[in-house]
Chain A
Amino acid sequence: MTDDKAEILQGTLDLMVLKTLDVMGPMHGYGLARRIEQLSDDALQVSQGTIYLCLVRLVQKSWITAEWGTSENNRRAKFYAISKTGRKQLLAETRNWERVSGIIGKLLQLGPEG
């Protein structure tokens, strides 16, 4: 049961990271964590460190790339950027998400008479 929950969470987090990087351009781990916290209105109550497990996975899949750089506050930080395959994946995942949420939405709108 806990496993299932984590899996859904994981998939969602992957998608959020990809989308954020796609929209905002290269970001470091801390920035991503902050951004996602803001977007989800702090609904995802997980420790910030979790973001790195997601990031390393995405790097291994070559959906994103990582490179050391300097942050806006002049601190050394690792910056992540979405790759070409990552964009393709994002597109596919987005479509899939829309399709699923569309079905779920319709399902939830069904009244007892429908």
Chain B
Amino acid sequence: MLGALRELGAHVRAFFRTRQLDSDFDDELQSHLAMLTDDNIGRGMTPDAARRAAVIRLGALTSLKEQHREARGLRMVETLLQDLRFAARLLVKQRGFTAAVVSTLALGIGVNTAVFTIVNGWNLQALPVDQPDRIVHLATRDAAGRHRGVSYVDFLDWQKVSRAFNGLAAYAGASMTVAIEGQPAEHLEGTFISVNAFGVLRERPTLGRDFWPEDDRVGAEPVAVIGHAVWMEQFGADPAVIGRPIRVNGSPATIVGVMPAAFRFPVLSDMWLPLAQMPGLATQPRDVRPLAVFGRLADDVTLEQSRTEMSAIAAALAEQFPASNRGVQAIVERFTERFFGPPPVIILVAVGFVLLVACANAANLLLARAAYRVPEMSLRSALGASRSRILRQLLVESLLLAALAGAFGLLVAWPIVRTIAAETADFGLPYWTRLAFDGRVFGFVAAACVATTLLFGLAPAWKLSAGRTGEMLKDSGRTLGAGLQSRRWINGLLIAELALSVILLASAALLVRSALTVYQADRVIDASMLLTARISLPPAKYGTPEQRLMFYDQLEARLASIPSISSAAIGTALPFWGATRRDVVLDSDTDASASGGRLALTLAIGSTYFETVRLPLLRGRSFDARDGRPGQQAAIVNERFVEAYWPEQDPIGRRIRLMDAGATAASPGWLIIVGVARTLRHSPGAASPVVYLPFRAQPAETVALMVRGQGESAALARLLREEVRMIDPDVPVHHLSTLERLSQQSRWIPRVASSLLTLFAAIATLLSAMGLYAVTSYSLSQRRSEIGIRMALGAERRQIAWLFLRATLGYVVLGVTIGISGAIAVAQLLRGSLVQTSALDPLTFAGVVVLLGTVAVIACVVPAWRASALDPAVALRHD
């Protein structure tokens, strides 16, 4: 074993000293010759004869040197290098061909790299903690199949009973108002978290201490752990921050620790408080489920085993507490999967299609060129090159092409990744996500290069290396290369390219139509010049609805008195986002406690909401100051609600009842419909039925604020902060944005999906057109003499052009037909992502056919028309 290793080492060393060892061996042979000549002279030969005899006795020097090199060096590597050198020379020589193949593949590899970089950065990143694949996320699903959190009491039971985890911890994100002495209150993203959480993650504070079990007891002295950024910015990285008192949500707390810079678990948290400090948590009933739970799988426990255990525990709890837990299941997932789910299949399939089209195109270029290389291959084969040797040489050429394409592909991917990164910069993506070219991306590019080499290079290489030497040499190759089999390959690939392009074009068109529909629908309001913000009232100071209402009334009055603000409104949610989903019971329902699956999004709004957003009321009236007071239970629904639940009926004066989704609590009171508003989206995707409630009926602690005014939004924001501070300096204004930006963000996924697919479709179409052009030109070059004869016999230019057009158009028609059937199948998969757009929209499909047909005809007509311009004399002489 050791001997073999040493021997290999000797070979490697010899390989790297080839030149030196060659000259060394040369010296040795010269010395051998000299001695042999000496001896020959000693035997009485003349010096000349002696030397000649010596040379003969020693053997053929060149071959000897070659064998010597093979015996001591690395034969495989040397021939590989030889192939590479040869391939490189060839590619440099045929620059046009190289450029065509490399750019084709670079587009294909590039978009795939971009998509992989995004999937890698979002879906595949692991939590930056010890053994991240052991961290799992736990939640519940209710009887109706809805995703829910975990109740505090359930969590305690899980913790007590489960054995599959090395620690279970719960958390709940919360907006936190943090006041440090001498500074205005700041808003932070905070997290209430179990005291064992950092231990489960195996992370510890860089400064101070972790939470202690005592911190989680009711009545414990309130403590807080802050994030590195807060420590740097608010406390100037002062090590004496430990023990400093602060006010969190109006209550005092003491800082006990600072977490490391890269730690913002679970998403973008800047501060952590023990779960015990979460208001009202200890007394919450089992059917209130505000928590998320995570845990570290115990050693030797698989995800599947933990699922089995948790479903047994959930079943036991359901039996014990049927009122709250019947039908409630536990869900266990890998932690990071919880946030992004599986990668977007549509995009992955689409981008894979682009690579296939690119490979088909490259294969066609290679096949067409193969015709010109038949003589070369015949010669090699005649000189004794084995088929595998020729195959290897051709594949090395393809690999070199793919490697070049991979390098350029990174250049293609870079701007796409940068754009996505820039657009998502303020999306609040989890702290562990990262869009960058890391080792995994480079690995992907390398794998893509090898895969594409096999995809586009193997078939042409196999064909080209298969030739029977004699026949090829005899036929001088040219006509044989254009043989029937080769043409069949080329045409088949062309049809596949066209079909894939049609599928991509149709999918892109459907997604674009859907995205445009949503965009158009959003134009119903004027979102420009509308500043948005959130304010959070510290619960300690604003514990009762009356206290909160007083604050909001004051704020509304102040904002109304400022001349540069034309109108302002408050609400529990902003348009496009974040309304609460509730079950709806109609006055016509026989069972007044069951909604029959009717759902609506609900939000509470101030009386100036419609005026500020500029959303027209179609019927009835807006809320006034009386609505929402006891006995004045009014509601406004949107047009969509009427269409869905009271088609062709007058909704004014009708009554509805709203039930919290999944809740089994006693039924709330009836609401009277007083108005109908134009439909405006309150969730991503399609517009749903919405019920607007008077703000007075549920004055929340955190509300959204909309301000329409003149001047810059930055100035407006300053003004808004100032006004809030005047009322109460402990109330922070946060999440400042504009409604325009929010609407863009809420449409981001359909917009990016449709843009990417459009890009892919455009590339595929371009490549197909290139392919058609190349193949038509190629078939033309193969049939020059035929053209010459036809023209000499009096064929007209138009007839010649038609001859070529007809041949290729047949493939276009076939490709488009196959593509349309494929597109119809793919459209079914898209159905879920389409908003108010039919998956089988005939206009879209007709448009795609016309577009691709036009491009295809142009790609065929140009070379065909040029072919028909040939001078018959020149064409005939060509052969």
Instruction: Please give the residue numbers on chain A whose beta carbons come within 8 Å of chain B beta carbons, in ascending order.
Output: 28-30, 33, 47-50, 52-53, 56-57, 59-62, 71, 73, 75-78, 85
Q: Are B36 and A62 in contact (CB under 8 A)?
A: no
Cα A79 to Cα B64 in complex, Å, equals 19
Partner of A60 from the list B60, B61, B67, B72 (CB cut-off 8 Å) is B72
Quick check: A47 and B7 within 8 Å, CB to CB?
no
User: Complex formed: what's the CA distance from A61 to B72 in Å?
Assistant: 10
Q: Are B59 and A53 closer than 8 Å at their CB atoms?
A: no
Contact A48 B35 (CB under 8 A): no
Question: Bound complex: CA of A33 vs CA of B59, how far in Å?
Answer: 13
Q: CA of A49 to CA of B33 in the docked complex: distance in angstroms?
A: 10
**Known interface pairs A48-B32, A60-B71; 15 further A-B residue pairs with C-beta atoms within 8 A, sorted by A's residue number:** A29-B32, A30-B31, A47-B58, A48-B36, A48-B59, A49-B58, A52-B29, A52-B64, A53-B67, A53-B71, A56-B72, A57-B72, A60-B10, A60-B11, A76-B27
Among all A-B residue pairs, the 3 with the closest Cβ atoms? A47-B59, A49-B59, A60-B10
A60 near B7 with CB under 8 A, answer yes
How many residues in B have their beta carbons less than 8 Å from beta carbons of A?
26
A-B contact pairs, 19 of them (CB 8 A): A30-B31, A30-B32, A47-B58, A47-B60, A48-B36, A53-B64, A53-B71, A56-B25, A56-B72, A59-B72, A60-B7, A60-B14, A62-B6, A62-B7, A71-B31, A73-B38, A75-B34, A77-B32, A85-B3
Q: For residue B32, which residues in chain A have a CB less than 8 angstroms away from its CB?
A: 28-30, 33, 48, 77
Residues of A within 8 Å of B58, CB to CB, are 47-49
Q: What is the minimal beta-carbon distance from B150 to any residue of chain A, in angstroms? A: 68
Min distance, Cβ B19 to any Cβ of chain A, angstroms: 16
Picked from A49, A52, A53, A75, the residue with its CB within 8 Å of the CB of B35 is: A75
Cβ-defined contact, B35 with A71, below 8 A: yes
With contact pairs A48-B57, A48-B59, A61-B7 given, residues A78 and B28 touching in the complex (Cβ less than 8 Å): yes
**B35 contact set on A, CB distance < 8 A:** 28, 30, 71, 73, 75, 77
CA distance A50 to B35 in the complex (A): 17
Given that A47-B58, A49-B58 are contacting pairs, would A56 and B71 also be in contact in the complex, using a CB cutoff of 8 Å? yes
Chain A CB within 10 Å — which of B3, B32, B57, B60 has the most?
Answer: B32
- In the bound complex, CA of A62 to CA of B31 (Å): 23
B59 touches A75 (CB 8 A): no
Assess the A75–B29 pair: CB atoms within 8 A: no
B31 touches A75 (CB 8 A): yes
Closest CB of chain B to A71's CB: distance in Å? 7
A57 to B67, CA, bound (A): 11
Bound CA span A77–B29, Å: 9
Within the assembled complex, what's the spacing in Å between the Cα atoms of A56 and B25? 10
Q: Does chain A have a CB within 8 A of B68?
A: yes
Partner of B28, one of A29, A53, A61, A85: A29
Using Cβ atoms and an 8 Å threshold, which residues of chain B touch A77?
28, 31-32, 35
Residues of chain A contacted by B31 (CB below 8 angstroms): 28, 30, 71, 75-78
Which residues of chain A have C-beta atoms less than 8 A from B68's C-beta? 52-53, 56
Cβ of B72: which chain A residues have Cβ within 8 Å of it?
56-57, 59-60
Smallest CB separation, B447 vs chain A (Å): 36
Within 34-51 of B, Cβ neighbours of A (below 8 Å) are at 34-36, 38
Roughly how many angstroms separate A76 CA and B31 CA in the complex, as a whole number? 7
B residues in contact with A50, CB < 8 Å = 59
Contacts of B67 in A (CB 8 A): 53
Q: Given the known A-B contacts A28-B31, A60-B7, are A49 and B71 also in contact in the complex, defined by CB atoms under 8 Å?
A: no
Give the CA-CA distance A48 to B14 in the complex, in Å. Answer: 23
Residue of A at shortest CB range from B57? Answer: A48
Interface centre among A48, A57, A62 (most CB of B within 10 A): A48
When distances are taken between beta carbons in the complex, the residues of chain A under 8 Å from B61 are 49
Contact A47 B36 (CB under 8 A): no
Contact of A57 among B38, B57, B71 (CB under 8 A): B71
Tell me if A52 and B25 are in contact (CB < 8 A).
yes
Task: Report chain A residues within 8 Å CB of B7.
Answer: 60-62
Give the nearest-CB partner of B30 in chain A.
A76
Residues of B contacting A47 in the complex (Cβ-Cβ under 8 angstroms): 57-60
Q: How far is the CB of A41 from chain B (nearest CB, A)?
A: 17
Closest A residue by C-beta to B8: A60
Contacts of B25 in A (CB 8 A): 52, 56
Once bound together, how far apart are the Cα atoms of A59 and B14, in whole Å? 11
Which of B25, B35, B60, B61 gathers the greatest number of chain A CB atoms within 10 Å?
A: B35
CB contacts (< 8 Å) of A61 on chain B: these are 3, 7, 10
Complex: how many Å from CA A77 to CA B64? 18
Cβ of B298 to closest chain A Cβ, rounded Å: 53
The chain B residue sitting closest to A33, CB to CB, is B32
**Least Cβ–Cβ distance between A90 and chain B, in angstroms:** 15
Contact status B28-A52, CB under 8 Å: yes
* Min distance, Cβ A62 to any Cβ of chain B, angstroms: 6
Q: In the complex, what's the smallest C-beta–C-beta distance from A47 to chain B, in angstroms?
A: 3
Interface string of B395-439 (1 = CB under 8 A from A): 000000000000000000000000000000000000000000000
CB distance from B388 to the nearest CB of A (A): 18
**Complex contacts, B28 vs chain A, CB 8 Å:** 29, 52, 77-78
**Which residue of A is nearest B56, CB measured?**
A47
Residues of B within 8 A of A59 (CB): 10, 72
B4-23 contacts to A, CB under 8 A, are 6-7, 10-11, 14
- Report chain A residues within 8 Å CB of B11: 60
Nearest opposing residue in chain B for A54, CB measure: B71
Interfacial chain A residues near B71, Cβ < 8 Å: 53, 56-57, 60
Q: Is the CB of B10 within 8 A of A62?
A: yes
Whole-angstrom CA separation of A75 from B33 in the bound complex: 11
Separation in Å of the A17 CB from the closest CB of chain B?
Answer: 14
Chain B residues with CB under 8 Å of A28's CB are 31-32, 35
Per-residue interface assignment for chain B, residues 424 to 458, with 1 indicating a CB less than 8 Å from any chain A CB and 0 otherwise? 00000000000000000000000000000000000
B24's nearest neighbour on chain A, judged by CB, is A78
Closest residue to B63 on the A side, CB-wise? A49
Measured CA separation A61–B3 after assembly (Å): 7
Interface pair A49/B64, CB less than 8 Å apart: yes
List, in ascending order, chain A residues with CB within 8 A of B34's CB.
75
Q: How far is the CB of A64 from chain B (nearest CB, A)?
A: 12
How far, in angstroms, from A50 to B34 measured CA to CA in the complex?
A: 17
- The docked-state distance in angstroms from the alpha carbon of A6 to that of B25 is 23
